[in-house]
Structure 1
Amino acid sequence: MSETCRARLGEFSVTVRLLASAALAGLLWSPSFVLAQDAADAPPPATAAPLRSFDPVYFDRFAPRTALDMVRQIPGFSISEGEDRRGLGQAGSNVLINGERFSGKSNDVVSELGRIGASNVIRIELLDGATLNLPGLTGQVVNIVSKVDSLTGQFRWSPRVRFRRTDPQFLDGEVSVSGKAGKIAYTLSLSNDSFRNGNAGTERVLDATGLVTDRRYEELYVNGDQPRLAAGLKYTGDSGQIGNLNLSLERPWTRITEQSDGEVVRDRDYLESEKEYNYEIGGDYLFPLWGGNLKLIGLRRFEHSPFFTRIFLDFEDLRPREGNSLATVIDETETIARAEYGWKAGKADWQFSLEGAINTLDTRADLALLDSSGTFVPIPLPGSDAVVEEKRAEIGLSYGRPLSPTLTLQTSLGGEYSQIVQSGAGGLTRSFIRPKGFVALAWKATPRLDLSLRAQRDVGQLNFFDFVASADLGAENQNSGNPDLVPQQSWNIDFQATQNLGALGSINAKAFVNFVEDIVDQVPIGLTGEAPGNIDSATIWGLSLDSTFKMDVIGWTGVRFDIDYTYRKSSVPDPLTGIRRRISGETIHEFSAEFRYDIPGGDWAVGANYFDFSRADEVRLSQLAEFPINGGDLGFYVENKNVAGLTVRLGMSNLIGTNEAFRRTFFVDRRNGPVAFVEDRDRFFGPVVSLDINGSF
């Protein structure tokens, strides 16, 4: 390592230690180590006038059990978790709880909303993010103003049954309790996200001329559970101190089996399993200092993931059985310390921020091949055992103020220094300095029309798995390691318009364009290898529409329509052919619509919903995978909002028989050469019956 690198690393280490020490000191020196906030005692720091404010009575017709039920009924609004964030800085979810961002990553805000009882919600505010003194938010944002006065609880049970070839899903649900002891508010929850999926159907193998050379009947079963124990603690001090502590522990498992019985060539027996554990600890503490407020934030996340894959091939001509196996153990850690100091100067809000982070991926893989005696023999997988570590420091200064009674400006300027170290074969140490920042404007054009515009210089989040050699036995693919990867950068321009239709509902339209440098896609490695790598440039643009129409104003009392649509288009030069194409595997469009009728004067509601989507071809250098869509998912439901005090919904989906189709073309050498053969798959899974039971106690 050069003397310059040593010096930079030393400076980074000092920064991280100072931040970590400050965060720990703030937590330990506070009046209580347990952190929380009671909204009734401390108003949220959001200072902007809301676009709309919804009192609990607005949601009475839906008989909501939780804050999540309420937010889902806000006209023209959809919850966004944001993309995979780099650190704990700006942007992220478009939901605030008592004026604050949620201090977690894997412990998401949607789950948190589901633990806030509807009886604890005072109001829900719809805000324009650019008018808040929370840098990075733009467009529509909701703020849930809530309080906890007594012990309350929520529970949910959501069994599902697919009609064909899957086990019933009985274990999906959650139970949570919230309460308050003095200045401490708390939430405890036990949940399980369960899935019992699968499909079955025929796969044909065709040669280069289109002649069918084999026909296979295949059955796939994908089972798993994600049990999670989570806790949230909140504290409000007598002098403006506000703190939060969020904890989660998860023990998910997955088991995938597939049987493929061929008519001509071979039968295939596939097994994949994973049983991991992970935890996350996140907290923040805000207190007055020197005329402003200092907020200290910390997060620690760890995930241990052992994967095992095994394949057996039995042939019609009675040749010896073939097979292979892959055992992989992956450990991921993320440690972040962040400090934000905000103050007000006249009409302007200022914020200075400093963040340090260490992200690590440690992966080990053992690949084996079945020999003629039926014994698995280890074979090398070069570059699969490695440790990738990124150390990062970020600094930023944000400024926001109203330019007029209807126009608000928010801007930020900063940068980050990162060092990426990879051990193992072909390991490298590299350092980067990247500028970051944005400018955002929010304009209330009319009392019912709100417009926002944002231009941002962004640095993307790397996937450390792309650095390491890997094999996907199920897809029969292999990636080389690529230690030369760099984070992508982009200029992002976003525009959003919200039209309040009054009693009729709301329409929220968004449009964006991103000019990306060093986009990550599949690239050649050496003469025959391939891996995720950087392509010089790409353009991505798109639009979306979230709309709600309430038909009460035209006499259809209790009728509501929700229509959402998203479209994305990208253009990137193919590293093999030079011809521009879409980014591999990206979503092209998503469309959803829901009709709901709350029958006046009673507890019954009925509804229907529809969803479909399409995605771009998945491009590798020797393969092309297509995902044809044959219809969408149509469903209906019947709901009673008072069955012995419970809300019960019975539904059925996939009524028009959407199948899971897949077509993959293999080439003799590279994708610009002749075709070797084609796999064409069409699988069915039938209708799905669902039951949702929600209650409070």
Structure 2
Amino acid sequence: MSRTIRIGLLLLAGFGAAAAAAAQEGADTGGPVYDRSFFDRTQPSNAYEMVALLPGFTIVEGDTDVRGYSGAAGNVLIDGQRPSGKTDTLATILKRIPAARVGRIELIRAGTASYDMQGYALLANVILVKAGRISGRIEAEQALYRHGLHAPRISAQATLDRHDRVVDLFATAYREIDDEHGFGIRNRFAADGSPLRLVDYAQPEGARVVQATLAYRQPLLGGTLHINALVQDKRKFADIAYAVRFPAPDTIDGSERETARTYESGLRYERALGPANDLEVVGSYRSVATLGIDREASASGNSVSDERSDASEAILRASLRHRRGGLTIEAGAEGAINGLDSRNALVEDGEPVVLPHADVRVTERRAELFATASGALNPHVNAELGVRYEMSRLSQTGDVNLVKSLAFWKPRARLSWTPAADRTLRLLIEREVGQLDFGDFVGAASLTNGTVSAGNADLEPDSLWRLEATYERRFGAGSFTLAVRREWISNLVDQLPVVIDGTVFDAVGNIGSARRDIFEASLKWPLEGLGAKGVVVTADMMARRSRATDPTTGARRSISGDLPVEAKVAFTHDIPAWKLRWGGSYAFARTETGFKVEEVERDRLAGRLDLFAEYHPDARWTFRLFGKNLTDSAATRTRDIYTGVRGDSALRYRELRVLRSGRYVGLTVQRSFGG
């Protein structure tokens, strides 16, 4: 690995020298600013649609499963600040902001401004209009599915803006249907292809959600205080039915129910300490209580799986940013206390079944120190150097008693070369260290799949070195971006066999080193130059190739869960004279493969077509008619089940599950007020 690191550093040094030699005076090292006139031709309804139109920019959601603040944030700011909470995605938050509230959007490039980039090369900063009055929006939606399923939604938002004090209130209640499940077959075949079981199968899934949020901002002691709070009740459901046709008629009924209650609160305080220094303090607390009950019953018996957990996280982070000339230096510290109390149980025909490591309590105390320096080396070249040092102590009690201490260095170096105003080349080398998923410490049972997995207390986080090159070309309101990266992974976290009391179980564990290559391309292309006024085409594609050594067979294979290809094309056509906007998207088929001890599972989602038409009779009303999954595409799961450990055992059977949720249509009505 040390040789890899040296090669990467030499590449960065060589690129920096070449860029400096080629640099010429006068290039703009900052990002452009897009005011409202840039978006007028496309009639966007909300801030999400506006950000999606920015040339050279792709929205990246933060990883909300990451504990702590670093790494959990996405690449979009609102009035210069990231959302403090983790429950709502960036897309959800941006879609709540009406386009009329957006004054402009700034594109921020690493090394050119005094912002915490959180490792991103680009940030979008959505600047809201200070209206000084009450404004908001009411939205109602209904979607109709096959088989009588429906998904209503109602939400309301109100903003009281008194210039120096702003209150945002939001509430919503809705039902969502998982369109990757539905109705179809679930058949089993022997190794020679002969049928073992033929079943008409149904598994409609969805969730009912009620949520309320509050955000408040006011001046305080020469700075600005932000407070946020969220309450959410989410109830997932799945109703499962087998109608066995062969070898003998039979019926099996099942259900899955899960209730998750989330409470979240946070505060952020920022204050200028003179003309060259800024202080920022962030604190948050989040708790999630989850109860899941799965049932399955047939003429031959019944089973009940009970999974309960209480998770919590408390974070405190402080950073100081200093500017001197074109150089920005940021340093700070973050501390977090995380906990999980998980208790799982399985009962078959009234008798408890022992699950390995099913009662576990985990506590983590984590601290991180970080420092970043960024600035312009010359008018064309920007550099960013950063390092983070993370320390944590994990304690497990219950079925497993274990204490573990971890510490990691995570350096990063990025160079950006802008030889002309319309093109940029970036090089990145960094080390990342993953976080252990507390759920992997706990054993669990799946009645739907008929599997039992063991918890693994002796997990280590995986780590990787990443080398990445990105080329960005902008043309008017359009752009083309190409990125290639290679990752060298150590202690890969994947599936492996564990033996407990003489029985082999599936578990999550470290399986050694691996490598991953990624190719990514993105296109935003307004077609006005070709005579198609108001038409914008977008295309995104990501291809992955990974190689790891299977701990069960010893063969080389891809990393479990890696998608070989993801691709999507979309278009919008705006006709301002008709107050109309319509468009569609097509997501190409994708396949995900998972490797377990006695099973290989492949999930394939076929290509899907969505269309919409949006009508704006005036600035306050929006009517949106949409149709999704118009290709009635199937979600196919293929499971190869072996008689024992793969590689040493024969194929017991192949299970083929094909489900369709069907085409569905809906109508959304929005009414804005105030502002």
Q: TM-score, length-normalised on structure 1?
A: 0.87
Alpha-carbon distance in 1 for matches of 2:497, 2:71? 35
Q: Match of 1:152?
A: 135
1:571 counterpart SS class: strand
* Pair 1:448 & 2:422 matched: yes
Pairing partner for 2:268 from 281, 284, 287: 284
Q: Give the C-alpha shift of residue 91 in structure 1.
A: 7.0
**Structure 1 counterpart of 2:596, which letter?**
R
**Structure 2 counterpart of 1:454, which letter?**
L
Q: Which runs of 5+ in 1 are unaligned?
A: 1-47, 315-320, 371-375
* Pair 1:217 & 2:200 matched: yes
* Pair 1:398 & 2:383 matched: no
Q: Give the C-alpha shift of residue 185 in structure 1.
A: 0.9
Q: Match of 1:82?
A: 62
Alpha-carbon distance in 1 for matches of 2:576, 2:96? 29
Q: Match of 1:62?
A: 42
Alpha-carbon distance in 2 for matches of 1:551, 1:288? 45
Q: In the TM superposition, what whole-angstrom CA distance separates every residue of 1:583-605 from its partner, at most 9, and x where no partner exists? A: 11222222111122223522123
Relative distance call for 1:563 and 1:409 in structure 2 (3 A) is: same
* Pair 1:438 & 2:412 matched: yes
2:49 counterpart SS class: helix
What is the RMSD of the two structures over their aligned residues, measured on CA atoms?
2.0
Does the 8 Å CA contact 2:29/2:376 hold for their aligned counterparts? Answer: no
Q: Match of 1:72?
A: 52
**Structure 2 counterpart of 1:345, which letter?**
R
| Superposed counterparts of 1:116-515, under 5 Å | 116-133=97-114, 134-149=116-131, 150-162=133-145, 164-170=146-152, 172-181=153-162, 183-197=164-178, 198-237=181-220, 239=222, 241-263=223-245, 264-265=247-248, 266-289=250-273, 292-314=277-299, 321-370=300-349, 376-503=350-477, 505-515=478-488
Alpha-carbon distance in 1 for matches of 2:49, 2:154? 15
Q: Give the C-alpha shift of residue 145 in structure 1.
A: 1.5
Q: Match of 1:6?
A: none
Q: Match of 2:77?
A: 96
Q: Give the C-alpha shift of residue 88 in structure 1.
A: 1.0
2:150 counterpart SS class: coil
Pairing partner for 2:653 from 650, 665, 677: 677
Q: In the TM superposition, what whole-angstrom CA distance separates every residue of 1:657-687 from its partner, at most 9, and x where no partner exists? A: 2112111111011111101111112222221
Alpha-carbon distance in 1 for matches of 2:55, 2:125? 15
2:147 counterpart SS class: coil
Q: Give the C-alpha shift of residue 325 in structure 1.
A: 0.5
Q: Match of 2:87?
A: 106
**Structure 2 counterpart of 1:343, which letter?**
H
Q: Give the C-alpha shift of residue 310 in structure 1.
A: 0.8
Q: In the TM superposition, what whole-angstrom CA distance separates every residue of 1:185-239 from its partner, at most 9, and x where no partner exists? A: 1211012353134421122211222111221001122131222101111123573
1:131 counterpart SS class: coil
Q: Give the C-alpha shift of residue 298 in structure 1.
A: 0.7
Pairing partner for 1:518 from 443, 466, 491: 491
Q: Give the C-alpha shift of residue 141 in structure 1.
A: 1.9
Q: Give the C-alpha shift of residue 344 in structure 1.
A: 2.0
Pairing partner for 1:564 from 510, 520, 540: 540
**Structure 1 counterpart of 2:506, which letter?**
E
Aligned residues: 634
1:272 counterpart SS class: strand
Q: Match of 1:19?
A: none
Does the 8 Å CA contact 2:471/2:483 hold for their aligned counterparts? Answer: yes
| Superposed counterparts of 1:596-615, under 5 Å | 596-599=572-575, 601-615=577-591
Q: Match of 1:583?
A: 559
Pick which of 541-550 and 570-579 moved more. 541-550
* Pair 1:689 & 2:669 matched: no
Alpha-carbon distance in 2 for matches of 1:523, 1:311? 28
Q: Give the C-alpha shift of residue 63 in structure 1.
A: 2.8
* Pair 1:532 & 2:508 matched: yes
Q: Match of 2:9?
A: none
Q: Give the C-alpha shift of residue 300 in structure 1.
A: 0.5
Pick which of 223-232 and 111-120 moved more. 111-120
Alpha-carbon distance in 1 for matches of 2:72, 2:468? 13
Alpha-carbon distance in 2 for matches of 1:622, 1:62? 52
Q: Match of 1:621?
A: 597
Pick which of 152-161 and 638-647 moved more. 638-647
Q: Give the C-alpha shift of residue 380 in structure 1.
A: 2.6
Q: Give the C-alpha shift of residue 639 in structure 1.
A: 2.1
Alpha-carbon distance in 1 for matches of 2:382, 2:526? 31
Q: In the TM superposition, what whole-angstrom CA distance separates every residue of 1:122-176 from its partner, at most 9, and x where no partner exists? A: 21112223433324333332111123322110233332112x2251111x24211
Pick which of 685-694 and 619-628 moved more. 685-694
Q: TM-score, length-normalised on structure 2?
A: 0.90
Q: Give the C-alpha shift of residue 570 in structure 1.
A: 1.4
1:70 counterpart SS class: helix
Q: In the TM superposition, what whole-angstrom CA distance separates every residue of 1:69-123 from its partner, at most 9, and x where no partner exists? A: 3213324432111334341125731111122222222233333323333223221
Q: Give the C-alpha shift of residue 253 in structure 1.
A: 0.4
**Structure 2 counterpart of 1:656, which letter?**
T
Does the 8 Å CA contact 2:469/2:483 hold for their aligned counterparts? Answer: yes
Does the 8 Å CA contact 2:29/2:380 hold for their aligned counterparts? Answer: no
Relative distance call for 1:660 and 1:109 in structure 2 (3 A) is: closer
Percent of pairs identical after alignment?
26
